[in-house]
Amino acid sequence: MIVQSAPDGGDEFAIFNHLESEVRSYARSFPVVFARARGAQLFARDGTAYLDFLMGCSSLNYGHNPPALKSALADYIAGDGITHSLDLYNEAKESFLQEFHETILRPRQLDYVVQFPGPTGTNAVEAALKLARKITGRANVIAFTNGFHGASLGALSCTGNRYHRAAAGQLLGGVSRLPYDGYLGSTVDTADYLDRLLSDPSSGVDAPAAVIVETVQGEGGLNVAGTEWLRKVAVIARRHGALLIVDDIQAGVGRTDAFFSFEASGLRPDIVTMAKSISGYGLPMAIVLIDRQLDKWAPGEHNGTFRGNCHAFVTARAALEHFWRTDSFAASVEEKGNLLKNRLEQIAQKYDPSRVSVKGRGMMRGIDLKSGEVAGQVIRTAFQKGLIVETAGAHNEVVKCLPPLVIGEDQLSQGLDILKDAIESVIGSLGQGMAKLSRKRARDC
């Protein structure tokens, strides 16, 4: 192996192109080098400000460097607080658990215990699946079309996306795929289909350990499960001896107004997975909430080195204290979610619904442009105008807005104006392209 010489300057991205693996992804959509961030804004090295409607894919619900969390963390570090201690008892974890109990679990009368798995979402999903299989003695799991649950093997088996699945390089087993709510159109109740399959001993679907579901599919394109459908799925799971796992990694922590995305439907999942915004500061942290009766883990049975990120505990606790002790934050998020909905609908109104429509719930909403190519052009155009926003969906056809939940109305409007202009200019130029094409066709005839 010959070590290639490092690139010399000139190209702003030289070291990334030379040394970072081709696996990098988001960076390709937003090719600048970022230096700082504050609230709803990211600043490039040259000082250019961008409005951020990606927010670490909903890992930064309280914005970049939220002041209350930053000062709590800075104080903790300045006082030589413990950074890492495996899962030893420590004060940072103690305060987080106390706050989580008082502010989140107790008012909602949720009797969960908290497991700290490895620090990423996929770690939480792996732990949840493993526990469900251990408890029930069953191997199969029900997951839904367009679901996204992570990229490690067990979680990837539950993930629908073919591109991500193919990267496993092996068969992904132990999961039966069922159609999500609305997958077969509005006239087919896919929960009935699930019930039918599980009730029929000859359906070919093995009795499941768990049903894993997102209430709003983030990566899958902002598909929203109806309240009735969710309730039905919960009842069906219980009736057939399967645990209900709600993957709240993206839709939770206020993204859909309430702390948990399932609160509106009155669901009581057996297991809940959380990650992304739980630390509130973008620090790696994941938790699995387990119904107290179902905590069948033996000591150390699911282990890992990084299960005690004290800095994340400090910011997670500060976030709960600052934003969740009263209902006012959730109410403000609901208001902003409605504003987002109205503005997106105004944008979509100008077009045929078969071409442009609005999807999502709360502060995770977007515009379905029915074409990955169009959506890709829209986000590139938006980026040139100063907005960072990504696509989601089976064909990357949905422009997904995940503004920080603390964003001011002026900045929210500003971002949506950019998005509106980007959609107008991309669809406008498509229209011109088509008009040209049809004129050319007419001439050719």
Ligand X SMILES: *Cc1c(COP(=O)(O)O)cnc(C)c1O
Please tell me whether residue 237 binds ligand X under the rule CB under 6 A. no
CB of 280 to ligand X, least distance (A): 15
Please tell me whether residue 218 binds ligand X under the rule CB under 6 A. yes
Dist CA 82 CA 120 (whole Å): 20
Stretch that binds ligand X, among 14-22, 147-155, 385-393, 407-415 (CB under 6 A): 147-155
* Six token digits for residue 257: 């107004």
Please tell me whether residue 265 binds ligand X under the rule CB under 6 A. no
| Amino acid present at 362 | G
Among 175, 210, 249, 382, indicate the residue that binds ligand X (CB under 6 A): 249
Please tell me whether residue 214 binds ligand X under the rule CB under 6 A. yes
Question: Closest residue to ligand X, Cβ-based?
Answer: 121
Stretch that binds ligand X, among 30-38, 144-152, 356-364, 394-402 (CB under 6 A): 144-152
**Total residues binding ligand X (CB under 6 A):** 15
Among 62, 148, 180, 259, indicate the residue that binds ligand X (CB under 6 A): 148
User: CA-CA distances (angstroms) from residue 74 to 71, 80, 81, 198, 390?
Assistant: 5, 10, 10, 52, 31
Using CB under 6 A as the criterion, what x/- string covers residues 396-425 for binding ligand X? Answer: ------------------------------
Dist CA 440 CA 445 (whole Å): 9
CB of 192 to ligand X, least distance (A): 25
Dist CA 96 CA 50 (whole Å): 33
* Six token digits for residue 286: 């994941």
Please tell me whether residue 149 binds ligand X under the rule CB under 6 A. yes
Among 117, 150, 174, 221, indicate the residue that binds ligand X (CB under 6 A): 150
Comparing CB distances to ligand X, the nearer of 37 and 288 is: 288
CB of 262 to ligand X, least distance (A): 13
Please tell me whether residue 213 binds ligand X under the rule CB under 6 A. no
CB of 227 to ligand X, least distance (A): 19
Using CB under 6 A as the criterion, what x/- string covers residues 105-134 for binding ligand X? Answer: ---------------xxx--x---------
The footprint of ligand X on residues 269-288 (CB under 6 A) is 275-276
Q: What are the CB-based long-range contacts (under 8 Å, 24+) for 35-44?
A: 37/64, 37/65, 38/63, 38/64, 38/65, 39/63, 39/64, 39/65, 39/66, 39/404, 39/406, 39/407, 39/411, 40/64, 40/403, 40/404, 40/406, 40/407, 40/408, 40/411, 40/415, 41/411, 42/388
Q: Which of 42, 98, 53 is nearest to 314 (CA)?
A: 98
CB of 92 to ligand X, least distance (A): 21
Chain residues that interact with ligand X, rule: CB under 6 A: 120-122, 125, 148-150, 214, 218-219, 247, 249-250, 275-276
